[in-house]
Amino acid sequence: MALADTRPPVAVPVADGVHWIGALDPGLRQFDIILRTANGTSYNAYCVRGRDGVAVIDTVKENYADTFFARLESVARYDEIRAIVLNHLEPDHSGALPELMARAPQATLHISARAQATLKGVLRGEEELSRVRITTGEQASVSLGDRQLAFLQTPYLHWPDTQCTWLPDACLLFSGDVFGCHFCDARLFNDRVGDFRFSFDYYYQHIMRPFREHVLNALELIEPLAPALIAPAHGPILREAPCDYVRRYRQLAAPLLHNEAATSEKTLLVFYVSAYGATERMAQALRDGAETVEGVRVSLYDLAGGEVAPFVDLIEEADGLVFGSPTVNGDAVKPVWDLLSSLTLVNVKGKLGAAFGSYGWSGEAVGLIEDRLRGLKLRVPAAGPRARLKPTDEELRACRDFGRDLSLHLTGRIEKRIIDMAALG
């Protein structure tokens, strides 16, 4: 067994006048509750030296502040720090910020406009807040004398506040969570660490994928820069073929399957679970009704026969989603919840949503699913049909009508309704 390393932590050179001053957290197995990691993670922070002073890019999780300060002190004095840049204010990067602001009272803090609200939860003092510079307009760059840092607005990657920082003379991108992953390896650089490719993809799928549109916008800004080195806030520093990782984001952000429906056509997916065939018959009636409307491609899926992940892929591309579930013990059934709880992985905001289902004594499932869909920011235009046990002909007709109405909503051809508030009770 190797002897424990008792030397104080020091900075690691990354490029000319640029050092890594982050911290390693090899024991971490779960991040933000939802993410798993087999290799821990790292909180990467960096120090950039220019003729007239030093910039610090990001900090670390609070309980790693000592390591961060020790590494920083190995390459700079606090009174040399001119600028502190926070690419993203989540606690894993802002944990040592209050203390750093106190130790470097002359330094300005450079954050995006969207970060201001969050910052109030991190820094409380008026004096500190007066040192904030918003990284747009005239303050979209900061000078260290002979070198500049420029800011790229890359919102939602991974929070609304997120930005990237570009060091043009070194062609170096400090990318924050973008191009990061939870993979801890003390060898730091992508050409020296263990194989982290699956961690890179996993991180994209869980953190970036819900914001695909924003990823594409960010790539428009980053690709033309052709970075020679990418220094993310987690995981290996990408110095060998960094543009491969930019290209990988392009691939990951592309739709998985080409949908052969004409671009003018809307797509409606109907998912159902059926115990005794009642919800299934409702699903079929709904599908038949939906198909009577020109310009809508309707697809029907039995959730009992499929895995969640491919359905999530389909949903990402669809215009409308309908979920059919029987009510069992006053609730929708598990396969439906499993799928619904995975929808935070993709952007479903503004899609059309609906529910339906059969029941024995009470039919809560439909309302519960509709509430969940609203919570996911789908538009739920109408309360869905329910049927007790075996659906009657009339109930099946109601399902058909409902399906047709959903298609009319999708194509914008639904007749507008006018009602009086008094009639709503």
Partner 1 sequence: MPKANVTFEDIGITVTVPAGTRLIEVSEKVGAGILYGCREGECGTCMTRIVQGAANLAEPSVLEDRVLKDNLAGRDIRLACQAQVLGGEIVVRPA
Q: What residue ranges bind partner 1 (CB under 8 A)?
A: 113-114, 116-117, 350, 370, 374-375, 377-383, 409, 414-421, 424
Encoded tokens for 77: 């004095």
* Among residues 158, 266, 281, 287, the one that binds Fe ion under rule CB under 5 A: 158
Closest distance of CB 25 from Fe ion, Å: 12
Neighbouring C-beta atoms of residue 4, cutoff 10 Å:
5
| 92 is an interface residue for Fe ion by CB under 5 A | yes
Per DSSP, the three-state class of 126 is helix
90 touches which of Fe ion, partner 1, none (CB within 5 to 8 A by kind)?
Fe ion
- Which CB sits closer to Fe ion, 115 or 322? 115
Closest distance of CB 115 from partner 1, Å: 11
241 touches which of partner 1, Fe ion, none (CB within 5 to 8 A by kind)?
none
Strand order in the sheet with 296-302: 296-302, 266-272, 320-324, 352-359, 386-388
Q: Which stretch binds Fe ion (CB under 5 A): 113-121, 177-185, 192-200, 286-294?
A: 177-185
The residue behind tokens 């067994």 is 1
- Report the alpha-carbon angle 245-156-23, nearest 5: 60
* Among residues 90, 185, 280, 316, the one that binds Fe ion under rule CB under 5 A: 90
Q: H or E segment at 202?
A: helix 197-203
417 touches which of Fe ion, partner 1, none (CB within 5 to 8 A by kind)?
partner 1
Q: Which amino acid is at 120?
A: K
| 177 is an interface residue for Fe ion by CB under 5 A | yes
| 370 is an interface residue for Fe ion by CB under 5 A | no
377 touches which of Fe ion, partner 1, none (CB within 5 to 8 A by kind)?
partner 1
Residue 37 CB contacts under 8 Å (≥ 6 apart), including other chains = 28, 29, 30, 31, 182, 183, 199
Neighbouring C-beta atoms of residue 287, cutoff 10 Å:
19
**Over the Cα atoms of the chain, what is R_g?**
26
- Which CB sits closer to Fe ion, 100 or 369? 100
- Which CB sits closer to Fe ion, 58 or 395? 58
Per DSSP, the three-state class of 34 is coil
424 touches which of Fe ion, partner 1, none (CB within 5 to 8 A by kind)?
partner 1
91 touches which of partner 1, Fe ion, none (CB within 5 to 8 A by kind)?
none
- Which CB sits closer to partner 1, 194 or 375? 375
Closest distance of CB 141 from partner 1, Å: 22
The dihedrals phi and psi of 2, each to the nearest 5 degrees, come to -70, 145
- Which CB sits closer to partner 1, 27 or 425? 425
Residue 145 CB contacts under 8 Å (≥ 6 apart), including other chains = 50, 51, 52, 53
Neighbouring C-beta atoms of residue 118, cutoff 10 Å:
18
258 touches which of partner 1, Fe ion, none (CB within 5 to 8 A by kind)?
none
Interface residues with Fe ion (CB under 5 A) are 90, 92, 158, 177
